[in-house]
Amino acid sequence: MPNIKSAIKRVKVSEKKTQANKMKKSEIRTAVKKARVAVAESAPEAPELVKKAQVKLDKAVAKGYIHKNTVARRKSRLAKALNTPAE
């Protein structure tokens, strides 16, 4: 543990931000997983779940939780999975 007051604060702030980032990334993973499962099962609510996941991904990139190229790739894969016919 640091002795300098500003360093102590930096540790506290970084721990708090780490927790927030973990929570947000978990939300995003859950939304994407629900969308992927719905698409795989050809569920009728699949398009709206994909849309919700894409919105969450867009918000995440705006807030800086995930890199923009990662979000673009994930959105693209979701759209591709939704638009390809199930065999």
pLDDT tens digits, 15-66? 999 999 999 999 999 999 999 999 999 899 999 999 999 999 999 999 989 9
Confidence at 1, pLDDT banded by 50, 70, 90: confident
Long-range contacts of 65-74 (CB under 8 A, 24+ apart): 65/21, 65/24, 65/25, 65/28, 66/25, 66/28, 74/32
The CA distance from 82 to 9, in Å, is: 46
> Burial, 41: exposed, middle or buried (Cβ in 10 Å; 0-12, 13-18, 19+)?
exposed
- Rounded to whole angstroms, how far apart are CA atoms 77 and 50? 10
Please name each of the domains of the chain with its CATH number: 5-83 (1.20.58.110)
Note the pTM of the prediction, 2 decimals. 0.81
- pLDDT for the residue numbered 87: 58
